[in-house]
């Protein structure tokens, strides 16, 4: 059975949408007919993503900014709304991660991850708010199993993503009355991504991850993208404040990460 959605005439912005899972999400919306905007720090990644997305759908738009820079985020999202029109779906997925024991995470290392994942998400949500189509707009934060499952070497990410999930729920309460829905998606271990390369860098740790997933496979970006297509659509018209895993049951099973050492 095919899951198909029609996003013709819709404007979709994916922040952090220039690689990995988020680029897969952007691609799925482009294939469904949406006008795409993507943003991230590096202009060359933005340009490459815009070229890729424009090959599958309507001409895409790109913006280079750092989610830690609130005025730059506001300017970037205002530019997309000026160029394309009201935003129907906003996906916020920029994130940073490195595995390290807490004793090896400097104050600035912890701050960097919290600034990108948590403050950055808030900057994006807050900047998108005035430009969202209302009623009917859909905001989607990309979370992680770390938000609810404690993991070694991930104190900074666990703290930041837990905050992201709570911000998702709070904004769902505040913006729901205007017909804006705010939800989260929790990817599991997604193959071929920067995140997984950092957390499971060798064959042995990859095997251990697969063995720990109830569905016994890595996910693909399209597995996450399909949940975003649902959340952005009228099919999810009464779904607000939900945080939906697309993880093959990994977080239900405790999402165990391989530990370093023998």
Give the C-alpha separation, 26 to 184, whole Å.
16
Question: Should residue 152 be labelled a site residue for ligand COA when binding is judged by CB under 6 A?
Answer: no
- Spell 179-189 as b/e; 16+ CB within 10 A means b: ebbbbbbbbbb
Coil, strand or helix at 244: strand
Query: How many residues belong to the chain?
Result: 262
Tell me which of 62, 93, 137, 245 binds ligand NAP, using CB under 6 A.
Answer: 93
CB of 170: closest distance to ligand NAP in angstroms?
A: 19
232 binds ligand COA (CB under 6 A): no
Distance CA 106, CA 219 (A): 32
233 binds ligand NAP (CB under 6 A): no
Q: Give dist(CA 204, CA 165) in Å, integer.
A: 31
- Let me know the angle formed at the C-alpha of 176 by 174 and 180, rounded to the nearest 5 degrees: 110
Using the minimum distance from each CB to ligand NAP, give the nearer residue, 55 or 198: 198
In angstroms, what is the minimal distance from the CB of 169 to ligand NAP?
17
Task: Please provide residue 30's backbone torsions phi and psi, each rounded to the nearest 5 degrees.
Answer: -65, -45
Sketch the per residue contact string, 103 through 142, with ligand NAP: x for CB under 6 A, - otherwise.
Answer: -------------x---x---------------------x
Where does this chain touch ligand NAP (CB under 6 A) — which range of 29-37, 91-99, 132-140, 225-233? 91-99
Residue 103 binds ligand COA (CB under 6 A): no
For ligand COA, the binding residues (CB under 6 A) are 95-98, 100, 104-106, 108-109, 112-113, 194-195, 198
């Amino acid at each position: 059975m095919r899951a198909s959605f029609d996003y013709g005439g819709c404007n979709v912005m994916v922040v952090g949408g220039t690689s990995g899972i988020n680029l897969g999400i952007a691609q799925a919306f482009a294939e469904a007919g949406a006008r795409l905007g993507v943003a991230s720090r590096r202009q060359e990644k933005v340009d490459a993503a815009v070229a890729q997305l424009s090959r599958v759908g309507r001409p895409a738009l790109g913006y280079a900014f750092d989610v830690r820079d609130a005025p730059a985020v506001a300017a970037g999202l205002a530019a997309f709304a000026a160029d394309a029109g009201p935003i129907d779906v906003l996906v916020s997925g920029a994130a940073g991660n490195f595995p390290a024991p807490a004793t090896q995470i400097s104050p600035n290392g912890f701050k960097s991850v919290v600034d990108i994942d948590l403050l950055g998400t808030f900057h994006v949500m807050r900047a998108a708010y005035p430009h969202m189509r209302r009623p009917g707009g859909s905001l989607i934060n990309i979370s992680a199993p770390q938000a609810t499952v404690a993991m070694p070497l991930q104190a900074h990410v666990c703290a930041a993503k837990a905050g992201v999930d709570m911000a998702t729920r709070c904004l769902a309460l505040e913006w729901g009355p205007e017909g804006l829905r705010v939800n989260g998606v929790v990817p599991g271990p997604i193959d071929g991504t920067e995140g997984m390369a950092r957390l499971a860098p060798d064959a042995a740790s990859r095997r251990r991850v697969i063995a720990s997933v109830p569905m016994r496979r890595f996910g693909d970006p399209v597995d996450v993208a399909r949940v975003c297509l649902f959340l952005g659509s009228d099919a999810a018209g009464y779904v607000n404040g939900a945080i939906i895993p697309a993880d093959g049951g990994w977080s239900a099973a405790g999402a165990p990460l391989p530990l370093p050492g023998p």
